[in-house]
Amino acid sequence: MKTLTLDEVTDKYIGKIGTPKREKFEYDLNLDLLGEAIKMLRKQKDLTQEELGKLVGVQKAQISKIENNLNNARFDTIMKVFNVLDAKVKFNVEY
């Protein structure tokens, strides 16, 4: 039995880097990670979704959607969330 690396499995079942299917997979994965980071920080600050929403100026449902990647939140809303949570945000733009 041959052992495959995670990259080999991803290439085989999702697609190689640069293909539309792989790009969508990577995009969705990054949104999931972003939502998980927000959820983790919110819980560390001992805030409910409703409390965080009030601090940010959005409804509880919007915080839930961001955390669960159910919609594409506005960039400024996500930045407000990180600001309220006292989180440093760094971007890595590759081209």
Give yes or no for residue 91 having a pLDDT over 90. Answer: no
pTM, rounded to two decimals: 0.77
The answer to whether residue 94 sits within a structural domain is no
The answer to whether residue 56 sits within a structural domain is yes
Total domains present in the chain: 1
What is the C-alpha separation between 42 and 73, in angstroms, rounded? 17
The answer to whether residue 20 sits within a structural domain is yes
5 secondary structure, DSSP code: -
The answer to whether residue 42 sits within a structural domain is yes
The answer to whether residue 40 sits within a structural domain is yes
At residue 52, the pLDDT reads: 97
What is the C-alpha separation between 46 and 9, in angstroms, rounded? 38
Give yes or no for residue 8 having a pLDDT over 90. Answer: yes
Which tokens hold the place of 94? 């590759």
pLDDT tens-digit readout, 29-66 = 888 888 999 999 999 999 999 999 999 999 999 999 99
Residue 16 sits in a domain whose CATH number is 1.10.260.40
The answer to whether residue 64 sits within a structural domain is yes
What is the C-alpha separation between 29 and 26, in angstroms, rounded? 5
Give the range of the structural domain holding residue 36, as residue numbers without chain letter. 6-84
**pLDDT (average), residues 64-81:** 85
The answer to whether residue 35 sits within a structural domain is yes
